[in-house]
Amino acid sequence: MNNLSQDTKNILGLQLPTDPRWVDLASISLEDILTDHAYCEQKAANSCISLITKYNDKDELVNELSPIVTEEWGHFRMVLSELRKRNLQLGKQRKDEYVNKLMEFQKKGGNPEERFLDLLLTMALIEARSCERFKRLSEGLTDEYMRNFYRKFMESEAGHYTLFITLAETYINKEKVRSRWKQWLAYEAEIIKSIEVRGDRVH
């Protein structure tokens, strides 16, 4: 799993960067961002557990995602600890407009392989956008501690989104993965254009 195929390297890459205003808004709403970030990590762990449960016959997937569950839950605890250290509360989980719009693009019914592919690519895209957002925070926040805090998350998410693409290539024809990933990237760019720029959420 350590050697990404050239196909994988060629097809990674978001089409639209985050609006520069987002970092400024996020710095004002740090409690909200940390709360939303905590829930994002929690949902990532739960999604990996769901994939393992649903596709328990796929040994490579089970072996690769099992440690990711532990890592994502560790991230949740790190963010929760940061909230507590600042005497902030873990607020309520919000409706995730970004993820809900991604799910609308997933294949429903029909070919089981296509549904499986879309689940993996949805996860890859969420991780890719999270990585890009964390990079923005690591470069744009005025607080040096928080810049370093988010650099660690950025580095972790980069490994995660390539893992989901690689898993897709493990089980599905690479040309099919590449073609569908390009469709997902185009769709995701339209989502980014359409949703409001808000500083109280990671996505």
The residues, ordered by sequence, that sit 6+ positions from 6 with a Cβ below 8 Å of its Cβ are none
Tally of domains in the chain? 1
Q: How far apart are the first and last CA of the chain?
A: 28
Residue 199 lies inside a defined structural domain of this protein: no
Q: What is the CATH number of the domain that holds 51?
A: 1.20.1260.10
- Give the CA dihedral 140, 141, 144, 148, nearest 10 degrees: -70
Nearest by Cα to 200 from 75, 98, 72, 128: 98
Residue 13 lies inside a defined structural domain of this protein: no
pLDDT digits (tens, 9 = 90+) for 2-61: 455 554 444 458 888 899 899 999 898 888 999 999 999 999 999 999 999 999 999 999
User: 149 to each of 66, 67, 109, 135, 139, how far by Cα in Å?
Assistant: 24, 21, 41, 11, 11
pLDDT digits (tens, 9 = 90+) for 137-196: 999 999 999 999 999 888 877 788 889 999 999 999 999 999 999 999 999 999 999 999
Residue 94 lies inside a defined structural domain of this protein: yes
Which residue range is the domain that position 103 belongs to?
Answer: 22-194
Residue 2 lies inside a defined structural domain of this protein: no
The residues, ordered by sequence, that sit 6+ positions from 180 with a Cβ below 8 Å of its Cβ are 114, 117, 118, 121
Query: Crossing angle of helices 144-171/174-194, nearest 10°?
Result: 140
CA distance 134 to 148: 10
Q: State residue 11's pLDDT score.
A: 46
Q: What is the pTM of this model?
A: 0.91
